[in-house]
Every structure is written in C-alpha cells, then in structure tokens.
Structure 1
Amino acid sequence: MGRMLRMRETCEYEATRNARLLENKARLESLGILKTVSEIRKPLTPKRQYHKRLYALTPLRRSHRLNATTDHLQPRRSLRLAPKVEPTKKKTTLCEGEEEKVRPANAPYIEVRDADLQITPEGSARRCNSKGRGSVYNPIFGICCHFCRQKKLCGEEDCKRCGNFDVDEPCLGKTDCSVCHSSSGVFCRACLKVRYGEEIEEVRENKGWTCPHCIEEKGTNPYWICNSSICLRKRMKAPTGLAIYKAREMGYKSVAHLLMEELQRGNKLKR
C-alpha cells in the first residue's frame, strides 16, 4: 500500500515538473530569449575552409649546391680514403763535390715574423741567469727537450739562437744526436745531467755523441735505455719520477745508471 502511494506521488511530481518546464520554455520563446542565446553561441569568425594543396602543381625546392654545377653531384669521400701525396721538399742546388747537410735537431728551421724577434731586456737577463732548463718559455724559438718537454730558451750566454734569434745557429743548451738528428736525442742541460749523468759541455765537444735510443739500437752499451716517461710507457714500465734522489743515495751517478743496474739484476733473476 505504501509503495503504491510513493509511486503515485512520484508521477504527480514528474507531471508537475514537465508542465512547469513547458510553461517556462513558452514564456522564453515569447520574450525572444532563446533566439538571442543561440546567436551568442555562434562563433564570431566564420570557420576557415580547408583547401588541400596539390604539391604536384608547385615547383620542387632544390639545393643551391646542386643547382650550381654538376661537380657537386659527386659523392662525398673521406679524406683518409684519398690517395696520400708525399709532401714536396724544397730542393737545393749543390755544386760538384758538395754533400747535402743534415740539419741538426737542436737547430730546426722555422719561419718567423718581425714581431717574434723581440725579447725584453728583463727577459734576456732572466734567460742567462738560469742554465738548467731555462726560465724563459718561447713556443717559437724554444726547442722541446725529450724528457721535460719544455720549450724554453737556453741559458747559455753565447747561444746565438736563443740570444739573437738566429735560426741558422744551433742551440748550445740542447744536445743533438750525431746518428739520428731527431727530437728524441734533444736534452737540456738539467735533464742530461740528472737523467744520464753527462755534462752539456762534454757533449758539445764530442761530435760523435749518440742519444740513448741509438745506443740501444746499436747495442754498444747493454741496458742503457732512455728513461723518459714516453719511452718507459712504451716498455710497459712506470715512469721513474724524482728517482735522482734514490739514485744518489744509493751511490749512482744518474737515474740511467740506476735503471741499468736494475735491468741487469732482473735479467739475472730470470735466468
């Protein structure tokens, strides 16, 4: 019984609600409000019509690189695949009976400008005060030592190359191997003394002086090797660092003499 009453009340509520909605709609239509709302909801700008573009009717874009010449149509190649061309060496005319001189490693030829041929008086005085490795760095005239790899001007007072910037003169503070004349035989005064126990004056007077690389290659002095960090790494050995203090405490003349003794001892143990 209660259920039927609830259903009857719901039907009456729905009928009353629908009648009220129809009455409100009719009233809005009579006032013209519904028409105004529909006009407001319309977009202010008309919708753009989409026109499909036919690309076949337009000219295709081409690169200016391809339109210039037909040479650009060639495929790009890597430079390492190109045939290697040996650099042309400047030939000098020699008279009969003359031999072509090999330029020493401590006097390499360089092309310089007038601006490079300048050194202050303070720099010149400071250069002569230090005779070890030199104290004035110069990337143009300085010759790189094979061990310390410092491109410094030497401290020799009579050196015309480092003092007067004469490229045709050798550096008196750097060595030159009489066999290879390469950069591996260039040592400054300090490295030559500490690492090999030799003096630059004795090497300068000895025209037949050979570097450790050539001595090892010829086999004239067994176990005498170059102890620079570059050469030791090639031998899979750790660089010695400041081994001169250890060598002097043990009574050796230089690091090279210490290494020579260690190599001899290691070779005997292997046997």
Structure 2
Amino acid sequence: MGKLDAKCDYESLRNARISDNKARMQSLGIRRCAGELNLITSPSRSRKDYTNTPERTKKARKIEATPLRRSDRVKKPSDVEANSAPPLRRSDRLKGKSPDPVELTPQGGREVVVSEVERRQLLSRRCDSKGRGSVYDPVLGICCHFCRQKKLCGEEDCRRCGDRDSDQPCIGKTECSSCHSANGVLCRACLKVRYGEDMEEVRMKKDWTCPHCIEEKGLNKFWICNSSLCLKKRKMAPTGIAIYQAREQGYKSVAHLLMAKLKENALQ
C-alpha cells in the first residue's frame, strides 16, 4: 500500500504542476504569441493554388531538327567534297627542302656533321648489307643480338635461308658453345664491325664463346658486349654508329675502342 500511495502522490503533484504551468503561460500570453507566429510563417495559399499559377506553368520545349553526323564512308561523294579534309602533312624530303644537318659523335677530336638524309642512308646500308641479309623473314630469320634484324642471311651455301629449310642451321649466324642462347647469335656484319671477328674463323672454332659470355665470365678484362641491350644493363648509353670513330683511331672494332676507353678510365 505504501508504493501505491507514493504513486498517487506523484501523479497528483504532476497534474498540479501542469495546471500551474498552463495558467502561467495563459497569463503571459505565450499561446497567443505562438498563434500569431504560426499565421505569419504559414503560406498564404495552398500548394495546389501555388503550383497552378501562370508563372509556374511549364513552357513547351522547342526541339529543332539537326542534321545527323555521318562518316565519310557513308556520305555521298558530293557531301565529302563539301566537307573536304585538311591537306595532308608532308615531310621536308617530299617537299624538296633540305633538312637541317645533324651532328654525330665526334671522331678523332673533330665534329662530323652529316645531313638527316645521309644519316638515314647510312642506317639503311647498315641494316641491308650483305652480311646481315636483305630479306626479312619472321619464321626462318634468326634475330641478331646486336642489330636485332630477323633476316635471311646472304650466305650462298646456307640451306636454311637459301632452300627455306627450317630444319637446317643458319651458317650466316653465330652460335655460342657456352650459352647456346640468343645472346650468342650475331650476323656476319655485326660480328666484324662491332667485335672484330670473321665468320669463317668462328665457324672453324667449335669452342667459340660469344662476346656476351666473355664479359660475364671475365675471360678478357675490360671487354664488354657493346649491344644496346647489354650497355643499358651497365647504365651506359648505346654507341650508335661508332665504327668510323674506331677505324679512324686505329681500332679493330667498336669493342676494342670501348675496351681502350675503359682501360684509360681505370688508370685515371
């Protein structure tokens, strides 16, 4: 009974407090002020009336028909002529202009200046020489480690390149007795110009070792493979057409020129 009496006392006190608060709010005019504020903030007209006003009516969109974009292949010949393409860009060689000269690597302490046309002719002669072959063949051609030309060799007795027999070896490309890999494959021209060896001498040596293996095994001090792939691994710039500089300075090949330079750098 004690808990029930306590609950009844709480309810009576709560109701009395609510009545006092209502009376105080009525005396202060709070309810009246709240009603006036509601009138001020409430819209003066309903949403339906507002949405139907002339200002809110949607305007009809005017859709104009534009011509379709069509490719030159679908267009009629007359349309193509009307929208002619801009003139094609042509090189200075086709326009008859002489290109600016290009400075190559210094040879013997002097600058050798050749034109762009002469430089391209040098490169074309280098890649189309008899020692490298002139016919590109992605199936029968064996890629050279230096020039990376996958061409048929120019050897007269090569049954692989002459008779197109894939089961026969190419006598115009070397094969290393140590690695038997693509690093030891060199054509006649690269073998002579870049490393100073003759193809006939290499064929007679059954234990011939490629320049790449000579460098890796340290068989010849300061000797390095001067292909662009191997030079980049050494963080060295490719030599380009350096055979002219080597011959002018009396070296047998580009590899002998680089070996002499490495010796000089080691002594300094």
Corresponding position of 2:218:
219
Corresponding position of 2:208:
209
Q: How does 1:1-271 map to 2 (within 5 A)?
A: 131-269=130-268
Q: Is the CA contact 2:129–2:189 (under 8 Å) kept in the aligned structure 1? A: no
What is the RMSD of the two structures over their aligned residues, measured on CA atoms?
Answer: 1.3
Q: Which runs of 5+ in 2 are unaligned?
A: 1-127
1:130 & 1:212 partners in 2: Cα distance? 22
Amino acid at match of 1:236: K
Structure 2 CA distance for partners of 1:236 and 1:130, relative to 1, 3 Å: closer
> Aligned-pair distance for 1:131?
2.8
2:167 & 2:204 partners in 1: Cα distance? 19
Structure 2 CA distance for partners of 1:130 and 1:157, relative to 1, 3 Å: farther
> Aligned-pair distance for 1:212?
1.2
Q: Cα deviations across residues 69-123 of structure 1 (Å, max 9, x unaligned)?
A: xxxxxxxxxxxxxxxxxxxxxxxxxxxxxxxxxxxxxxxxxxxxxxxxxxxxxxx
2:222 & 2:129 partners in 1: Cα distance? 32
Q: Segments of 4+ in structure 1 off by > 4 A?
A: none
> Aligned-pair distance for 1:214?
1.2
2:214 & 2:232 partners in 1: Cα distance? 19
2:144 & 2:174 partners in 1: Cα distance? 9
Per the alignment, in what secondary structure is the counterpart of residue 143 of structure 1?
coil
> Aligned-pair distance for 1:207?
0.7
Q: Which runs of 5+ in 1 are unaligned?
A: 1-128
Amino acid at match of 2:262: L
> Aligned-pair distance for 1:219?
1.7
> Aligned-pair distance for 1:130?
5.7
> Aligned-pair distance for 1:189?
0.5
Per the alignment, in what secondary structure is the counterpart of residue 190 of structure 1?
helix
Per the alignment, in what secondary structure is the counterpart of residue 156 of structure 2?
coil
1:174 & 1:193 partners in 2: Cα distance? 12
Identity of aligned residues (%): 73
1:131 & 1:241 partners in 2: Cα distance? 20
Amino acid at match of 2:151: K
Q: Aligned pair count?
A: 141
Question: Which piece of structure 1 moves more, 193-202 or 213-222?
Answer: 213-222
Corresponding position of 1:86:
none
The alignment's TM-score, normalised by the length of structure 1, stands at 0.51
Amino acid at match of 1:224: W
> Aligned-pair distance for 1:168?
2.1
